Amino acid sequence: MSRDLPAAINTAINSNGNALLALLVELEFSSGFLRIWSGVGTIQYQGNTYTGAGTLFGFDNIQESLSVVANGCTIYLSGIPSDLVSACINDAEQGKIGRIYLAVLNSDFTMNGDPVEIFVGRLDVPTILDDGENCIISISYESRLIDLMSPREFRYTNENQKVLNPGDPSFEFVTTIQDKTITWGRG
C-alpha cells in the first residue's frame, strides 16, 4: 500500500537532497514510555522528549503489502544503561504499544513538519542476547492486524452478560429455558 508523504517532508527531501532524516521510536512499558531517536542529544515532539541513541538501536525491515497481512517488526537496543535493561526485562508487558516515526529535521534539529508513523504494533516478546562482550535487547512487535486472527469468545450466558453490564439481569433465565418445550398455537 503506498502512502503519500506530508508536504513538508516531501518538499524537504526533494528540495536540496541534504535533508536530515531521523527515526523516532516510542516504546510503552508498564512503568512508562521509552522514547529514543536516531541522533545525538534530545529533540521534542508533541511535548515529549526523545533521547538520542545514535547507532545504539536498529530494527528489522518494515514491510507493507497490498494484501491484509500482519507484518511485525523487531527493535534492537544495545549499549543502553542497566536501568533501561531492567525496565525492558521487568516492565515489558505483552500488548503494550510501540511506534516508529520518520521525521525530517531542520539544520537546527527542530522538526520540519510532523513525522510520519511508519510502524505501530503491540509488544510481543523481549529477549536479551548476551555474548559476553555485547548485550543486545531485541523487542518484537506484532502489527495490530494480528488481532483479526484472535478468536472472540462470547457466549450468550448470564456470566458473560454480567462482565459487559454488571447490573443487567437479561440473561438470568437462559439456562432454565434451554431445554423447555414450548407449544405454539393450540394444543
37-53 burial, b at 16+ Cβ within 10 Å, e below that, comes to bbbeeebebeeeebeeb
Question: What is the secondary structure of 17-37 as a DSSP string?
Answer: S--EEEEEEEEEETTEEEEEE
Measured between alpha carbons, how far is 122 from 73 in angstroms, rounded to an integer?
10
Residue pair 165/92 in contact by the 8 Å Cβ criterion: no
Render each residue's pLDDT in the chain as its tens digit; 187 residues.
456 777 777 777 777 666 788 889 898 888 888 888 888 888 888 899 998 887 677 777 776 666 666 678 888 888 766 666 677 778 888 888 889 898 888 878 788 878 888 888 888 878 887 777 777 888 888 877 766 667 778 788 888 888 888 999 888 888 888 788 888 887 6
pTM reported for the whole predicted model:
0.69
